[in-house]
Amino acid sequence: MLLHAAENEAAGVEVNTKCALEAAHEAIWAFFKLWGLYESEAGVWWVFQHRAFEEALLIAHLLADGNGNGNGNGNGVAGMVTGYEGVCAKAKEDVARMLEIMDRNFRYGGSLEMHRTRKEVLKEAFERIAI
The pLDDT tens digits along the chain (131 residues) read: 877 888 888 888 888 888 899 999 999 999 999 888 887 777 677 778 888 999 999 999 999 975 434 333 344 555 454 567 889 999 999 999 999 998 877 555 567 888 888 899 999 999 999 87
Range of the domain at 98: 2-127
pLDDT in tens, 83-113: 678 899 999 999 999 999 988 775 555 678 8
Total domain count, the chain: 1
Cα(89)–Cα(131) distance, integer angstroms: 8
